[in-house]
Amino acid sequence: MEALAIAIQKVRAMSMKDKEHLTDEVFAKQPNMLCSVLALSRMGVSIEKVDFLLELLLLCFQAMKESGLNWPLITEQVQEAQLERQVAVMKFDQGLKPSLKHAAREKYADSHPEHFLLAFVLNEIQDWRGRVNTEESDTHIMLSAINLVNCLAWVELPDSRKGAFGPHSNNVSHGQV
């Protein structure tokens, strides 16, 4: 949680030039994550809405840096697998009664390896949706934002790093962001 708080402070205090430099760093270290955000403009998402997601990516990336962990490259395959996982979770949720939906969502959030980051991103999405004219393409933004978090939460971290646990290492998550 500390890494996330520091990242939020740093990114929100950055000038446009600083954000450009951070975006260059994202491109150098996590090009697939950056490309997945920028590609949304080709799917009919306005550039203003892509900017919102880009800001979330910068916050997530800065939190990765602040965690002190050596994050591996998030591949397109990891992104696709996490998106498929998220869609499956959403389909499961659709079949539930309202009272069970709330309980399932709460359990999902509480058990998420990066629950602070997830809560922050979900809150940012909620605030953002209150400020924009909603469109069907907003679904792409919301799914992509959650997918950024899931990719960070479930990626296998190198075992050689102290305190770095992948999601399948004795069922302990890294939870460092």
Give the range among 8-22, 73-87, 90-104, 144-158 with minimum mean pLDDT: 90-104
Lowest mean pLDDT among 13-17, 136-140, 150-154, 172-176: 172-176
Cα 70 from Cα 73, distance rounded (Å): 10
Report how far apart, in Å, the C-alpha atoms of 18 and of each of 23, 56, 61, 121, 157 are.
9, 15, 14, 22, 28
* Contacts of 168 by beta carbon, 8 Å cutoff, 6+ apart: 156
> Could you report the per-residue pLDDT of 59-80, keeping only the tens digit for each?
999 999 998 888 899 999 999 9
Question: What pLDDT is attached to residue 161?
Answer: 40
pLDDT confidence of 170, banded at 50, 70, 90?
very low
Number of helices and strands in the chain (H, E) = 8, 0
Per-residue pLDDT band for 99 (boundaries 50, 70, 90) equals confident
Find the DSSP H helices in 14-114.
16-29, 31-38, 47-67, 76-94, 98-111
Range 39-43 contact pairs with CB under 8 angstroms and sequence separation of 24 or more: 40/137, 40/140, 40/141, 40/144, 43/137, 43/140
Cβ atoms within 10 Å of 171's Cβ, excluding its own: 7
Question: Residue 78's pLDDT is what?
Answer: 93
Among residues of the chain, what percentage have pLDDT more than 70?
Answer: 89
Whether the pLDDT of residue 97 is over 90: the answer is: no
